[in-house]
Amino acid sequence: MERSEQQSLPVVEPYDSPTGGWGSVKSLAEKSIAEGLAVSTIWNTLFKQNKPDGFACVSCSWAKPADSHAFEFCENGAKATIWEQTKKRTDRDFFSRHRVTELLDWTDHDLEKHGRLTTPMRYDASLDQYVPVTWDSAFR
C-alpha cells in the first residue's frame, strides 16, 4: 500500500455501548478475519494468554495469575496477539521500494498493516533502507 492510499488520521466515532463484553468479542473476531486467521485459532491462542501454563501478553506485562480465568486478557492485548499472528508478510522488496525517511511519515497502524518481516534486516544509512542479512549475521 502506497502512502497516498493510506489514511493519515484514524476515524474516531462515538461509542455508547459498554466496554468489554460482546462488543469486544465481535471486534476480536473481526480483527482475526482481517488478518487472515480462523477465529477458532485465535480463541485457542487467547485462552492460553496470561495463563500459568501459557504465555504472557505480547503488548504489556500483565501477570499470569495462579487462579486464572478464560478471558484473562484485555481487548488491546488480544488485538496485539492477533496482529503478531497475522498471515500478512513484509518481504525484502517492500524495503527496496521504501526509504526509511519515507516510512517515518507512515503511522504505526499503516506500517502494521503490511505484516511481519520474512527475513532479517539491517539498516544501511548510506541507502536509507533496510537491507537483508543472513540469520547468522543478524545474531552477531
Residues of the chain with pLDDT under 50: 1, 4
Q: Please give the Cα distance from 82 to 36 (Å, whole number).
A: 10
pLDDT at 71: 77
pLDDT of residue 8: 61
What confidence score (pLDDT) does residue 98 get?
95
Quote the pLDDT of residue 4.
47
With 0-12 / 13-18 / 19 or more C-beta atoms within 10 angstroms meaning exposed / middle / buried, residue 95 is buried
**Owner of C-alpha cell 552477531:** 140
The C-alpha atoms of residue 85 and residue 6 are separated, in whole angstroms, by 22
